[in-house]
Amino acid sequence: MGSLLWLLQWPIRAVVLLIVAWLPLGVEIESFPIALLSAVVIGLLGTLLIWPLKLVLGPVWAITSLGGLISPVSLLFNWVITVILFGLAAWLIQGFRLKNGLVSAILGAVVYTVLSTVILRIVGLDVDFTRASALLSNLPLA
């Protein structure tokens, strides 16, 4: 069911990327095919890079959140990972640009995550904010 769920989410996430590009956040996406590719790349990067990002950010997260006791710090690290993935996808894909650099990456990633979550829940395809969020919240960072 996981693969089918992902296939159903893919075009929805692409439409969400187009909505994000339409908003005045500094995110530019040239076309729907670029949005489809971007949605795939963001998902793949989240799957492939979660462990390296956890290794890099894990010690800082553990210290600043007192091992996960302070929830807002944990949430902040989830957003940091989402921004990194969003920015990396924009850097890799021609036709997906962040006009204002880090500011556009932050705003775009936050709006993309929130809209994706809300829309996917409305249509019955419930998911966590990101794979990174799910992994970070369910696995201890030894």
pLDDT at 92 over 50: yes
DSSP H or E segment with residue 28: strand 27-29
Residue 12 to residue 103: CA distance in whole angstroms: 24
Task: Report the alpha-carbon distance of residue 62 to residue 59 in Å, rounded.
Answer: 5
Q: Are 108 and 23 in contact (CB under 8 A)?
A: no
- Statement: the pTM of the whole predicted model exceeds 0.85: no
pLDDT band per the 50, 70, 90 thresholds, residue 48: confident
CA distances from 71 to 103, 116, 122, 132 (A): 24, 22, 26, 15
Q: What residue type is assigned to position 17 of the chain?
A: L
The pLDDT assigned to 68 comes to: 63
